Structure 1
Amino acid sequence: ELISDPLTAVAGADAIYTDVWVSMGEDTEADSKREALALYRVDEALLAAASARAVVLHCLPAHPGEEITEGVLYGERSVVFDQAENRLHAQKALLEELVE
């Protein structure tokens, strides 16, 4: 099922994952992408529509105020920095395996 309404999409969700809207080199499309995706910003209202135990993830780097609000990014339900730390350890293990 394809759901275009973000509040409906997160209803009952245990995790909300977002990413940057504009990648490096997409400067000419940046404004139109920001305008088109503004409805999907992960903010306090969107998080409130999810499960009470829902966490927020982001692969970083984040642009607070764009795809995610600062309050959600640094809030108590954010596991963004734990996620980044876990990725670091996984990458170190992979690097060690490749070097051996």
Structure 2
Amino acid sequence: LSITTNLEEALAGADAVYTDVWASMGQEEEAEARQKVFAPYQIDEHAVSFAKPGALFMHCLPAKRGLEVTDAVIESSSSVVFDQAENRLHAQKALLLMML
């Protein structure tokens, strides 16, 4: 495990790129400040180019298009965000069944 603030270094050779919203529920008052801090980490086509060819793009949704990810990336053939969301439903159902 390594920690870096260098986006190119972080994505170098990655099989998947996974990002999240920059301000979650309850952090709305911090949203503007977070946008300024995280703007250099936006996942766009240039950022994805550092990952392995064919790397998957993932996001837990809802995505703020134009902030943490561009339309071009989230709508690309490497994006699996909608499959990911669908599979989350099935995982949640399995957990509920297990707890019954």
TM-score above 0.5: yes
2:48 aligned with 1:17, yes or no?
no
CA distance in 2, matches of 1:79, 1:3: 25
Alignment of 1:1-100 (within 5 A): 1-99=2-100
Distance (whole Å) between structure 1 residues aligned to residue 61 and residue 10 of structure 2: 22
Distance 2:93 2:20 in 1: 23
Deviations 1:7-52 (CA, angstroms, capped at 9, x unpaired): 1211111111000001122222111100000011111101111100
Deviation at 1:2, TM superposition (A): 2.4
SS in 2 for 1:76: coil
TM-score, normalised to structure 2's length? 0.91
Aligned amino acid, residue 97 of structure 1: M
- Counterpart AA for 2:8: L
Does the C-alpha gap of structure 1 residues 2 and 98 become closer, same or farther in structure 2, counting only changes over 3 Å?
A: closer
**Deviation at 1:91?**
0.8
Q: Which runs of 5+ in 1 are unaligned?
A: none
Is there any run of 5+ residues in structure 2 with no aligned partner, and where?
A: none
Provide the C-alpha distance between the structure 2 equivalents of 1:27 and 1:41, rounded to a whole number of angstroms. Answer: 19
| Structure 1 residue 80, shift from structure 2 partner | 0.8
Task: Give the Cα–Cα distance (whole angstroms) in 2 for the partners of residues 17 and 67 of structure 1.
Answer: 11
SS of match in other structure, 2:49:
helix
Q: Could you tell me the TM-score, scaled by structure 1's length?
A: 0.91
